[in-house]
Chains A and B, each alone.
Chain A
């Protein structure tokens, strides 16, 4: 009964100064909405990174040439990776359970022509069919090129989604002929779009058999990378030591510390990037928390004004026998109501705002942040309201009544 009465008085008190109450709520609203939204943006970017980890294939390992020890060795003494290295690994893969498949990769660039359309794809990749599975590239139209195509150095190519769109627009590219660096290629397949998360578009590629690309562009020398697929995510470490062992033997290096190649694990690389986005999320959250705090101070400010303005009313209530707890309760209810309504609207605004893409990132709401922001806002209302409410409750009735 008293509770209901208190709530009614609180609503009445807020309604008496609509603009003031609305502006105070706006402060809380902005605080809560920004906490939810900024955390959602941070979370969205980390979700995007996670997605790209899975799209890259979590089991893939990349072997590239270069010294792990840094610039101590002269570049000339570094033995480049060759197709022979890949073959050594592939031979070993037959005996080992850790390595599933091996694909040497050369990367180059050039201009593709189709009819009178000219386009420079992001990269032209020469490799083996195993590459598709290892790099998690799926063909949606047409088919993959085969081992026979590699053995026969056939002039066939699989296009990335972006490249296909640029060259053919709405036309079906499969079976069409394009000219790459003066060599005609037949398009046999189009890859499924992966969607980009970083600065490079993974769909902007042309993939062709390794010897064909070597013949047309790079020559039959070194390869850029060897892509190795581990049997499963658990065997990546075993696969990594397997690769090290085989390549050290192939390059005749006794000391593992002097290895002239590097093995990078895509997943661990992206985990590092994910931790960066976590820091980013925490920073965003901190900024938002400050605005929530400012909203709370706004409540204190307005409640202090309200208490001063209604000192006389407090005196009347005390003269009528209102106990201290009732006065305290009334002003606390008022400040909490401000924060609850403000936070509620803030949650709504945050939810609505997260439907829009912000600086290229699709926000993903963290459910805990919604509950947390709402809870903290309400707690802030109680905490920041308690000082003015306490001041009201401790007024001596005679002083309050005499207040003009």
Chain B
């Protein structure tokens, strides 16, 4: 059952994420706001853009106060938004050249989203929620059901497959969202403040889940402003005013995430 979820992408030299000179600005002329700018060019004073590589199997926390550009970065990484300039290679594919149809395919196959506000579809059972990305991928009904149930039991909600979002607690809803994000075995799990709306116990549950996924080789990019949450990551990026100001490695890429390492789980 587990092999469905735990499908490791073969070792490749290509990083999962490679961005080069990426900028994102809103507005025009004097009113232009650079949400992502990177360091300024010393000669022209123009923003040079952000550059970043994220390796296969890494667990990266992107930190920053609100307005620092971390959500903009997350939206671009998730192919929900397009950069103003620069290149973004996801799993070796330049997404800048893809049309809307291909982008939806990329979101479906390569990215699993976990949002702060859960973003479950109302009036839909947990099982149907998790089946949804598989349905869009064109997986047959029986196979879809099997994989969705496997993902739900992985997050510990196998018993609650028939429940609708309003019948689940916040932590349970977020676990459904995690199951939904990982059911297609994406190259990367993108979590935007996944614990922002949760109490401390649910926070621990969801973080443990993400730790576990990373330990099995899934690349995780997590956006947060809490140090507690960032402590789970192997690498911590700090964004201030659209620039990466610090890049701190807390644990090696090919080891277990620090939280599990502390508990003595072998690599």
Contacts and interface: CB of A to CB of B under 8 A. Distances in A.
A321 B80 contact: no
A2 interface: yes
Interface string A310-323: 00110111111111
Nearest to B108: A321
A117 interface: no
B123 to A, nearest CB: 6
Contacts of A396: 81
Contacts of A319: 78, 80, 107, 113, 119
A318 B103 CA distance: 10
Interface in B62-111: 75, 78, 80-81, 100-101, 104-109
B254 to A, nearest CB: 29
Interface in A1-52: 1-2, 5, 12, 16
A318 B104 contact: yes
A313 B117 CA distance: 12
A326 B136 contact: yes
Given A1-B140, A321-B136, A398-B80, A16 B105 contact: no
Contacts of A313: 121-122
Given A317-B121, A323-B101, A398-B81, A2 B138 contact: yes
A401 B104 contact: no
Contacts of A401: 80, 115, 119
B140 A320 contact: no
A397 interface: yes
B141 interface: yes
B200 interface: no
Nearest to B144: A1
A324 interface: yes
A97 B109 CA distance: 90
B133 interface: yes
B132 interface: yes
A398 B133 CA distance: 18
Nearest to A323: B104
A106 B141 CA distance: 86
A397 B104 CA distance: 10
B141 A1 contact: yes
Contact of B123 (A16, A316, A397): A16
Q: Looking at B104, B113, B138, B140, which has the most chain A CB atoms within 10 Å of its CB?
A: B104
A313 B121 CA distance: 6
A334 B163 CA distance: 24
B123 A12 contact: yes
Nearest to B135: A5
A322 B180 CA distance: 14
Contacts of A12: 123-124
A319 to B, nearest CB: 5
B245 interface: no
B94 to A, nearest CB: 19
Contacts of B138: 1-2
A2 B135 contact: yes
A395 to B, nearest CB: 11
Interface in A270-313: 312-313
Contacts of A324: 100-101, 104
B107 A318 contact: yes
B248 interface: no
B252 to A, nearest CB: 31
A401 B107 CA distance: 14
B122 to A, nearest CB: 7
B122 A320 contact: no
Contacts of B120: 316
B133 A320 contact: yes
B91 to A, nearest CB: 15
Contacts of A16: 122-123
Given A319-B80, A319-B107, A323-B104, A398 B75 contact: yes
Contacts of A1: 135, 138, 140-141
B137 interface: yes
B198 to A, nearest CB: 19
A23 B100 CA distance: 36
A12 B101 CA distance: 26
Interface string B228-267: 0000000000000000000000000000000000000000
Contact of A320 (B81, B101, B136): B136
Given A2-B138, A397-B80, A398-B75, A321 B133 contact: yes
Interface of A: 1-2, 5, 12, 16, 312-313, 315-324, 326, 396-398, 401
Interface of B: 75, 78, 80-81, 100-101, 104-109, 113, 115, 119-124, 132-133, 135-138, 140-141, 180, 184
15 contacts: A1-B135, A12-B123, A12-B124, A315-B119, A320-B108, A320-B113, A320-B136, A321-B106, A323-B104, A324-B100, A397-B80, A397-B81, A398-B75, A398-B81, A401-B80
Given A1-B141, A321-B106, 18 more contacts: A317-B121, A317-B132, A317-B136, A318-B104, A319-B78, A319-B80, A320-B108, A320-B132, A320-B133, A320-B136, A321-B105, A321-B107, A321-B133, A321-B137, A326-B136, A396-B81, A397-B107, A398-B80
